Amino acid sequence: MKKTEVMMMADKHNIEEEIIEIVQKGNTSKLDVAEEIIQSRNLESFEAFEIIDSMVNEGQLIKENETIGDYEIKVAKKA
C-alpha cells in the first residue's frame, strides 16, 4: 500500500470519529452533519456524503426518518 493510501485511510478514520462525535452531541441530520464536516475538514460535499453513506452501509450509523435528500442518523450500538 502506498503511503498516500495509508494517510487517506487514517484521515477517513478520523473523519468517521468526528462524524460520530457530532451525532452524539445531538446533530442528527445527514445534511447538517455533512456541512459541519465539509467546513471543519475542507472536503468536497460529495466526499462528506460518501463517508456518511458508507458508515450507514457498514452499520456504524443507523438511518431513520428518511425524506427527500436527507435523513436522520444515529450511532449504532456496538454488540
- Tell me the mean pLDDT in the region 38-66: 94
pTM (predicted TM-score) = 0.85
Contacts 24+ apart (CB under 8 A), 10-19: 12/51, 15/41, 15/43, 15/51, 16/51, 16/55, 16/60, 19/51, 19/52, 19/55, 19/61
User: What is the total count of domains within the chain?
Assistant: 1
Over range 3-8, report the average pLDDT: 64
Give residue 15's domain range. 3-75
Tens of pLDDT, residues 55-67: 999 999 999 999 9
Question: CATH number for the domain including 46?
Answer: 1.10.10
